[in-house]
Structure 1
Amino acid sequence: MTSGVCYRPPVTAPVAILDDMRRWTGDGHCLILGDFNVPLIDWNENRFPPGADRLSRGPLAVVNQLTLHQHSHEPTRIHDSAQAVLDLVLFSRTLDVDVIDHLLPLGSSDHSTPLVH
């Protein structure tokens, strides 16, 4: 199984990360965790809102293309009144995840820490 951790700064295009994801999933079994900074994607419905920019469309398309499943559905960043799922837990669809707990942020982070069981 291939595993990787990812961080995409909010204003950068996801092209390089998406290309890496395509390479990482070559054997069909993978786990990718990280802050993808795609707040507009509705991971429960597996869609983005009408008019979403390519920063949202690209990652969702690649996740679907690679038959990955996004397991983290609780907001991982809560700032003032805004909540978003920014930190993703992506597994190959053939792998099972029992539970994801969201722990308190580490250090000075404003993101919760996902714990995968």
Structure 2
Amino acid sequence: MRRPSVRTARNVWIAGFSLAAVLQGVFGRRFARGAAWGRNAGWQREIAVWNVGTLVTAAGLAGLGPEADRAQVRGFAVLSTLFGLNHLAAALRSPRSGSNWFGAGLNAVGITAGVAALAAPRPAPRGPDER
């Protein structure tokens, strides 16, 4: 099986951050019904804002090449590990909390893509005439 590139792994997280921003910012009430934590409109808006800020930052770094992508993937892997564990702990305490299982699963997808991409050998650097 071919490993994802760091750009592909980064894009997996971009999709996840976009989804989280919409779920928390637009469909917060619906998401909260399936979460062990319940509804907290203020915190859910904060989560949406954080995700939008992350998307803006990622867009600003998009043209800086593979090393910027690798740095983002490393940071996103740390975030997804912590977010995923938080969702998993809530899901285990409240097994019918579908939103928490969903969050744990999506973070696991991001971690899997990120670790696979980071474990792949780095491409050889291109010379100045090859850019």
TM-score, length basis structure 1: 0.28
More strand by share: 1
More helix by share: 2
TM-score, length basis structure 2: 0.26
